[in-house]
Amino acid sequence: MFQISRKSLSSLAVLTTLAGFSGGALAADPWVVDANESEIEFTGTQLGAEFEGEFESFDATIVFSPDDLAGSAVEVVIDIASVNTQNADRDSQIVSADWFDAAQWPTAKFVTKSFREIAPGKYEAVADLTIRDVTREVTMPFDLEITGNEAEAEGKVTIKRTDFGVGQGQWIDTTQVGDAVTIKIEIEATR
């Protein structure tokens, strides 16, 4: 449909484009995310052991209808500084220049490009994930349950931190801080 080069096009522009597409006859429903019940968590490995953390603050703009996947779009903007891994030293590392460099790139973005139904209640989102100045396409499978005007979605995707330049210098080495990071989202929303 459209190609996104790493730097030339901001993710916001993509969303605007998507919104433009969805603005037609098949209007997908806008959803309001319940911030208290929604979470973006991740699991990383350090010294060979897994640890969990979350980004406590994020904004999600969701337009979604199972009957209009082409007109559906999700954009999530994550506030990097809201990271919480229950360890102050590690949290301050994560936002530092070697890792997410939150001073220069305060947010990460997840912008969907397309959706596909793989089974009833099970979908796959193809999205551009932008962390630091790197944008890469990821495919995230998720389960979705819509009851009346309430929806619950849960999805997981595993990325490589080094693909996004998360971990510069000595941290490019993945022996002590593992490359694979699993991102898990749990969203509750109402329309």
Count residues binding other proteins (CB under 8 A).
21
Q: How far apart are the C-alpha atoms of 64 and 143, rounded to whole Å?
A: 13
Ranges within 40-69 binding other proteins (CB under 8 A): 46-53
Q: What are phi and psi of 54, to 5 degrees?
A: -150, 160
Question: Smallest distance, Å, CB 12 to other proteins?
Answer: 34
CA distances from 180 to 11, 46, 50 (A): 24, 11, 10
Among the residue ranges 63-71, 79-87, 117-125, 139-147, the one whose residues contact other proteins (CB under 8 A)? 79-87
Tell me, what DSSP letter sits at residue 12? H
Of 116 and 160, nearer to other proteins (C-beta) is 160
Q: How far apart are the C-alpha atoms of 103 and 140, rounded to whole Å?
A: 28
Question: Smallest distance, Å, CB 84 to other proteins?
Answer: 10
Phi-psi region of 165 (alpha: psi -120 to 50; beta: other; left: phi over 0): left
Ranges within 113-172 binding other proteins (CB under 8 A): 170-171
Among the residue ranges 87-95, 126-134, 147-155, 180-188, the one whose residues contact other proteins (CB under 8 A)? 87-95
Contact residues for other proteins, defined by CB under 8 A: 46-53, 85-90, 93, 170-171, 173, 175-177
